[in-house]
Amino acid sequence: MQQPYIKYIAIAIIVLTTTIGCTKKEYKIPTPKDTLQNDCIKRTQGPNIVGQTIEFAYAMAILAEKGNLTNAKVEATMEGDAGTWMENKSYYTNNSGVDVGISVGNASVTAKNVTSVAFNKDTNAATLRYYYVIPEAARGQSVSFTFSAESSNGETVSFKMGPYTIAKMDMKKNITLTDGGLMYLSIADMTAYNATDAAAKAASIDLVYLYRNITTSAYNFALVSPAADAQYLPGVTLPGGVTRSTYERRVVNLQDFNLAQMQYGIYIDDLDFQQLNMTNEPNYAINLKQEAGVWVETADHKYRAYVYFNTASTSTKNAVVSMKRYAL
Amino acid sequence: MKKLIISALIVLSAFSCSKDHPIDDDGLLITPRQECYVSNFELLGADYLTVLTKQPVIDTTAQTVSVIVQFGTDLKNLFPQFTLASDCKLDPRIVGKVDFSDLANPKEYTVISGNRQISKTYKVLITVQPR
């Protein structure tokens, strides 16, 4: 490139940079809209499971000189289960990072699919939390919500959330398993039984829990099908009729958020169960430990499940497991 | 300037068309290397953790890889991993889970040297740790 051109381009760049770079835009406090405003976020993440809660935070505000808030209301497309409610407190976070609630209205009233809070304080801005307990009727369906607020000057405003798909799967947390006691696990019932009860429910017993400290091999905690080879059930005499063979696959590092009840951000959803291929899998899972898990498919192909070990104690030989289960 | 660009294009075209680096049917480079052996072996379970209880014994004369796997290992769903001498390739290729449950008929894998002139077939001999 010729020398004079470079010179001109350089000058042009400097002039442009100086002009644009030195422009000072004065910050202006935004002018608030003078009508009743609202906004909403969904606070819970992951799959929406029957019996669990979906939490929202609904914010509403009006200029003080225009009036105050009189009523907040949520209308769900399907009636929530018992325990559905809306907070009558508006929260702020104090200097210690703690959310402090201040009562701004009467306790919420839920009539069928509508939950409402009537404000009883002179409030012109509030954020109320709404907890919707997912009913059995919503399984596999979708649910939407319409949040609305009213102010003393007669204005109304609303905000739609959803639709949210409700998972088909079930979940049961914290099932205690004891070696020699509650060691017979039924996926259909999502319950652990002792030998006597297992004999009475033999047709629904899918897994046998046991702990063995074997020095020659790594056995440890195990979930074994009743029909598995006897070498995987050392010292176990099965109750009469307990003979099912369950497909199993041991997994590590799959700490589902709902099951683990810890900080992990992994969620097992319906899709995982739908895409699971358990053909050719064994009917035992040994050498399990705390935070390990087992994918399971029952012998009759009615259920797929993920059983997660919350705790596993070598001293007590007990374990606490949680389960997500999907009906095929 | 024009001349310079044209010259560069000519040189680039000449190099790109040279056939000094032949490739095989799998699109892999054929090199002059003659080494042909397995240098390491690993076996992972369906949970992607090793199932071996100790280091594998690789006999390059007898052409065997002997391993002991943990008690309770699901032999039908294993992921073998071979480490080979430089530029070698493996036949058959490993594309997913492998069924090693037929212990009487060990799986065989052929290592082919970098120059594709030498091949050696290794047997994978599995012993399950007793309980």
> Of A328, A248, A254, A249, which Cα lies nearest the Cα of A291?
A254
Chain B hits for A252, Cβ within 8 Å:
47, 49
Which chain B residues touch A218 with a CB distance below 8 Å?
70-72
User: Are A193 and A154 members of one domain?
Assistant: no
Nearest to B131 among A216, A280, A281 (CB): A216
- pLDDT digit string (tens) for B48-79? 999 999 999 999 999 999 999 999 999 999 99
Nearest Cα neighbor of A265 from A277, A275, A253, A250 is A253
More confident site: A98 or A4:
A98
Asked if the C-beta of A95 comes within 8 angstroms of chain B's C-beta atoms, the answer is no
Q: Is residue A177 part of a domain?
A: yes
Is B31 near chain A, with CB under 8 Å?
A: no
A264 and A136 within one domain: no
Residues A167/A48, Cβ–Cβ less than 8 Å: yes
Chain B residue with minimum CA distance to A214: B131
**Cis omega before residue B32 (within 30°)?**
no
CATH number of the structural domain spanning residue A45: 2.60.40.3550
Angstrom distance (rounded) from CA A250 to CA A233: 17
Nearest by CB to B72, from A216, A232, A249: name it: A232
**In the structure, what pLDDT confidence band is assigned to residue A30 with cuts at 50, 70 and 90?**
confident
**Which domain does A99 fall in, by range?**
37-165
Last residue of a domain, one of A165, A199, A219: A165
| Inter-chain touch A216–B129, beta carbons under 8 Å | yes
For residue A30, being part of any structural domain is answered with no
Note whether A321 and A175 are same-domain residues.
yes
Instruction: Please tell me if residue B76 touches chain A, with a CB cutoff of 8 Å.
Output: yes
Q: What is the pLDDT of residues A219-265, one digit of tens each?
A: 999 999 999 999 999 999 999 999 999 999 999 989 999 999 888 78
Contacts of B74 in chain A (CB under 8 A): 281-282
pLDDT in tens, A162-192: 999 999 999 999 999 999 999 999 999 999 9
Rounded-to-integer distance, Cα B98 and Cα B121, Å: 17
Residue A31: inside a domain, yes or no? no
Q: Which domains does chain B show, CATH number per domain?
A: 21-128 (2.60.40.2340)
Ramachandran region, residue B114 (left: φ > 0; alpha: ψ -120 to 50; beta: rest): alpha
Q: Which of A249, A281, A287 sits opposite B72 (nearest CB)?
A: A287
Domains of chain A: total: 2
d(CA A183, CA A321): 12
Query: Pick from A216, A234, A280: which is nearest to B130 by CB?
Result: A216
Q: How far is A244 from chain B (nearest CA, A)?
A: 19
Please check whether residues A216 and A263 belong to one and the same domain: yes
Of A141, A165, A189, the one marking the end of a domain is: A165
Q: Per DSSP, what are the bridge partners of residue B98? A: B78
Each residue of A249-308: pLDDT tens digit?
999 989 999 999 888 789 999 999 999 999 999 999 999 999 999 999 999 999 999 999
Does the beta carbon of A83 lie under 8 angstroms from any beta carbon of chain B? no
C-beta atoms of A284 and B46 within 8 A: no
Q: Does residue A148 sit in the same domain as residue A191?
A: no
State the Cα torsion A227-A231-A288-A243 to the nearest 10°.
10
- Which residues from A are below 8 Å from B131, CB to CB? 214, 216-217, 219, 231, 234
Q: Is residue A18 in a domain?
A: no
Q: Suggest the residue from B69, B71, B76, B97 to mutate for an interface test with chain A (most A CBs closer than 10 A).
A: B71
ipTM of the complex: 0.76
